[in-house]
Amino acid sequence: MKENLPAAFRLTGTKDMACALLRVMKTTFFEPLSQIIPPELTPEEQEAGEEPVKPLKPFCLPWYPNNLAWQLNLTRKNIRRCEAYWQLHQFLISETETGNISRQEAVSMIPPVVLDVQPHHKVLDMCAAPGSKTAQLIEFLHSANDDRSAAIPEGIVVANDADNKRCYMLTHQAKRLQSPAIIITNHDAAFMPNIHHTRKDGSVGPIKFDRILCDVPCSGDGTLRKNFDVWAKWNPVNGANLHGLQLRIARRGIEMLAVGGRLVYSTCSLNPLENEAVIQRLLMEADGSIQLVDVSSQLPGLKFMPGLEEWLLMNREMEAIKSVTEIPLKNTNLFNKHLFPPSMENKEKLNLKRCIRILPHHQDTGGFFVAVLEKTKPLPGEKVYKEINQEEIPTVPDTATQRIRQPPKKKRRQGFREEPYYYFEKDEVVWPGIDAFYGMHEDVDPGLFLTRTKDGKKRNIYFTNKCIKDVVAQNQDHIKIINTGVKVLVRSDNKGSPCDFRLAQDGSRVLLPLFSKRKICVTKNDLVIMLQNDDMEMPPEIATLDSKTQEQCADHCTGAIAFLYEEDGLKIQLVGWKGNKSVRAYVAKNDRIHYLRLLGADTSKYEKNKFAEQRNLDSMNVDVKESTPDDMQTDVNDENGESNDKGETDVCDGIQEN
């Protein structure tokens, strides 16, 4: 508990790109580490009591799919003193900034894995911010094999959070994943309103989700290794204070879950009042409608404890409370009968052992709790919808059957209101120009493109899948939607192009499978030339590219263009601009470094190595000393001494500081 927590991260994005980055990480950074002898301590460091640099052994988390999650024992001192460790650290920083690596605690990755999300699922994340688990859910939703289905899945992810500011942080996280299947909402999860959609028979009713994640607010005593404040603030009743809120959120999740669906309840707490006591009460109230699922087979190599079936209640004064009758009068507002462990006859029925408890010493992680619940039948009193064209007998009396819901009436909503979403109509003015210029496929529905302004010039055009469009249409007036859609087109005022809109890199993965024109296949060398040139005034000349690339450029007029590269399983798609004599890739600096790494090209233009700079400076100083006569060297030293006495910064120190 008192040792520092190792850094953990996972590789994100499409499966192809993540696996390509994994190969680069292993060959460029991990393999050389095994041959490095850590530097010895200097006499000054020994006097200061510094510990020697320990050999770094990256550990792959065996239970995470495709070997994409890793753990590193990388400390700041080691980074400062060893060049190889510093280079690895710089790699992790730059790839995190581009969204290709996500820093996330190892145990926090488990709930989305056991949720078992498929591309057609409707998924709800009830307490989504800051968004690491939501990003995992989106990645699993985009896991289809063919490009178009992977880019535009059939299902959706509804990411909700009660905190408005955290919702915008969530929006920033989601943007990096280029998903047209996510919608971010701002509601109290314990009182989450129904989200309506159009059913197969044409009626409108609440969505019953296939998968729901309840990563509820908790006391966080499992995070003692990174949140040192918890040590001072901890007391036994923290869990009892939060039990009611956690139960309400999980209960609402079960109500919104479809029969046959799966809900994952998780906390970063070890307190049974926040964990097993909540699950126990859910199971008792559901009366056989839900059951705990054993998911140990989905987590090969993970060490954990089974859920508790016995625990002891204590008040703030550390007095043990063994039964309901022993609750002190001063604690009657804090404890109730539902917080105590199950009776002997209920133990076997509840199967609390199927819960997963992860302790810090099991595999050098934080503490965590996970329970997977499956809904086997409707809850007692739950309204069940029966489709009009079905002839089966309803599972509940007709009085409890849900009526076909009419579209909701407009309601006044308090607080800040987001700009509405306007999907393209059949007579959309800008669509014919876009369609003709890019050659949209016949099956592309222009009604899936949207903007945030109804009148005036449309600056940005976004795209969503059909399910998101339906959800927006049915809920925009009573659900607080913070963000949805991925940006695919941006207005360009360049008069040299017949189309007013250029491609956006943010949505290239989504839009490129939808059109046939404005695409050029380039070579590896072409990509390197474009990525290493970031001069806006002097972009790469078309004449410097491969001859076949030049031929393709000649077939296209001035305007937005997509550059496609595929070789040895690596697929890179960049958007840019084709001029009369030059081409340009619209790629941010950190993304340029990322793509150059994947191509095995030189990244030194964008990355500075402070160790190499120091070596160069030291060699220059040596050369100066060797070429300077003794009497001149004395004068130089005197001058340097004077300048240092005046408080001026030494050149060498300044470079090290930078």
Let me know: does 570 contact 20? Beta carbons within 8 Å. Answer: yes
50 vs 532: CA distance, rounded Å? 41
268 is catalytic: yes
Closest CA to 282 of 309, 323, 246, 258: 246
User: CB under 8 Å to 507, separation ≥6 — which residues?
Assistant: 178, 180, 462, 463, 486, 487, 488, 489
Q: How far does Cα 388 stand from its chain's mean position?
A: 40
Helices marked H in 237-320: 238-255, 276-286
Length of the chain equals 658
Residue 11 to residue 177: CA distance in whole angstroms: 12
Element (H, E) at 70: strand 69-72
Given the residues 82, 214, 268, 355, the one annotated as active site: 268
Sign (positive/negative) of CA torsion 249, 255, 256, 260? positive
Distance from C-alpha of 115 to C-alpha of 478, rounded to nearest angstrom: 29
DSSP 8-state assignment for residue 109: G
Cα gap 170→129, rounded to integer Å: 6
**Single-letter residue type at 377:** K
Task: Write the CB contacts of 145 (distance below 8 Å, at least 6 apart in sequence).
Answer: none
**CA angle at 346 for the pair 340 and 349, rounded to the nearest 5°:** 130
Written as six digits, the tokens of 239 are 């869990």
Determine the Cα–Cα distance for residues 512 and 534; give it in Å rounded to an integer.
Answer: 24
Q: What are the residues whose beta carbons fall under 8 Å from the beta carbon of 405, sequence distance 6 or more?
A: 196, 203, 204, 205, 206
Amino acid at 566: E
Q: How many CA atoms lie within 13 A of 242 on its CB side?
A: 21
200 within 8 A of 252, measured Cβ to Cβ: no
Q: Which helix (H) or strand (E) holds 575?
A: strand 570-578
Cα dihedral sign, 400-404-406-411:
positive
Q: To 5 degrees, how large is the angle CA 189–CA 195–CA 200?
A: 145
Supply the residues annotated as catalytic: 268
